[in-house]
Chain A
Amino acid sequence: MLTAGIDIGSITAKAAIVEDGKILGTKVIFTGYNAEAAGKSVYEDVLRENALYKSAIKKIVSTGYGRNSVKFADKTFTEIMCHAAGAYHLDKKVRSIIDIGGQDSKAIILDGDGKVKNFVMNDKCAAGTGRFLEVMARALEVDLDEFGAISLKSKKPSKISSLCTVFAESEVISLIAKGEKRQDIIAGIHESIAARVASMSARLGLSEPVMITGGVARNSGVVKALEKKLSMKIEVSPYAQVNGAIGAAFLAASL
Chain B
Amino acid sequence: MKKAISEFFKMVLILLAGKFKKFTMRFKKTKTMKDYMMVYYSQAKSARLTGKKVAWITSGGPVEPLIAMDVIPVYPENHGAMIGASKMGGHLCELAENMGYSADLCSYARSDISCATINGGPIGGLPRPDMLVCCNNICGTVLKWYEIQARYFNVPLFILDTPFCHTEYTEEMGRYVRAQFDEYIVFLEKACGRKFDFDKLKEVGHLSHQGQLLWQAVLDTATHKPSPMSAFDAFYHLALIVTLRGTQDVLDYYTWLAGYMKDRIARGIGAVPNEKYRLLWDNIPIWHRTRWLSEKFASHNACLVADTYTTAWCGALKYIDENNFIDSAAEAHARIYLNIGVDQMAKMVIEMIDKYDVDGFVLHSNRSCKPYSFGQLDIQKIVERERGIPCLMLEADMTDERSFSESQISTRIDAYMEIIKERKNKK
Residues of A within 8 A of B (CB): 65, 77-81, 104, 115-121, 123-124, 203
Interface: B274 (CB within 8 A): no
B interface vs A, CB < 8 Å?
377, 384, 390, 393, 395, 405, 407-408, 411-412, 414-415, 418-419, 422
| A-B pair number, CB within 8 angstroms | 37
Whether the pair B415, A119 counts as a contact (CB closer than 8 A) is: yes
Residue B418 contacts which of A104, A116, A120 (CB distance < 8 angstroms)?
A116
Q: By DSSP majority rule, is chain B's interface helix, strand, loop, or mixed?
A: helix
Q: Which residues of B contact A104 (CB under 8 A)?
A: 408
CB-based contact B408/A81 at 8 Å: no
Assuming the contacts A65-B407, A116-B419, A118-B390, asked whether A78 and B414 have C-beta atoms less than 8 A apart, the reply is yes
Find out whether the CB atom of B411 lies under 8 angstroms from the CB atom of A78: yes
Beyond A65-B407, A123-B408, whether A77 also contacts B418 by CB under 8 A is: yes
Whether B418 pairs with A65 at a CB distance below 8 angstroms is no
Chain B residues, Cβ within 8 Å of A117: 419
B99 to chain A, nearest CB (A): 25
The residue in chain B whose Cβ has the minimal distance to the Cβ of A124 is: B395
Closest Cβ neighbor of B418 among chain A residues: A81
Determine if B415 and A124 form an interchain contact, defined as CB atoms under 8 angstroms apart: no
In the bound assembly, the distance between CA atoms of A117 and B405 in angstroms comes to: 24
Q: Which residue of B395, B405, B415, B422 has the most chain A CB atoms within 10 A of its CB atom?
A: B415
B418 touches A123 (CB 8 A): no
- Specify which chain A residues have a CB less than 8 angstroms from the CB of B395 in the assembled complex: 124
Contact between A79 and B411, CB atoms less than 8 A apart: yes
Q: How far is the CA of A116 from the CA of B392 in the complex (A)?
A: 13
Residues of chain B with a CB closer than 8 A to A77's CB: 418
How many Å lie between the Cα of A115 and that of B415 in the bound state? Answer: 12
- Report the minimal beta-carbon distance from B172 to chain A, rounded to whole angstroms: 38
A153 to B242, CA, bound (A): 63
B405 touches A124 (CB 8 A): yes
Interface centre among A78, A79, A80, A120 (most CB of B within 10 A): A78
Q: How far is the CA of A80 from the CA of B415 in the complex (A)?
A: 6
Contact B415 A81 (CB under 8 A): yes
Q: Say which residue of B377, B411, B414, B422 sits within 8 Å of A115 (CB atoms).
A: B422
In the bound complex, CA of A78 to CA of B408 (Å): 11
A-B contact pairs, 18 of them (CB 8 A): A65-B411, A78-B414, A80-B411, A80-B418, A81-B415, A104-B408, A115-B422, A116-B415, A116-B419, A116-B422, A118-B384, A119-B415, A120-B393, A121-B408, A123-B411, A124-B395, A124-B405, A124-B408
Query: Given the complex, which residues of A lie within 8 Å of B377, measured CB to CB?
Result: 203
A195 to B384, alpha carbons, bound, how many Å? 25
Of A104, A119, A120, most buried by chain B (CB within 10 Å of CB) is: A119
A246 to chain B, nearest CB (A): 18
CA distance A91 to B412 in the complex (A): 25
Q: Nearest chain A CB to B251's CB is how many angstroms away?
A: 44
**Do residues B405 and A123 form an inter-chain contact, with CB atoms below 8 A?**
yes
Kindly list chain B residues whose C-beta atoms are within 8 Å of the C-beta of A79: 411, 415
CA distance A121 to B395 in the complex (A): 11
Minimum CB distance partner of A103 in chain B: B408
Taking the nearest CB of chain B, how far is it from the CB of A18, in angstroms?
20
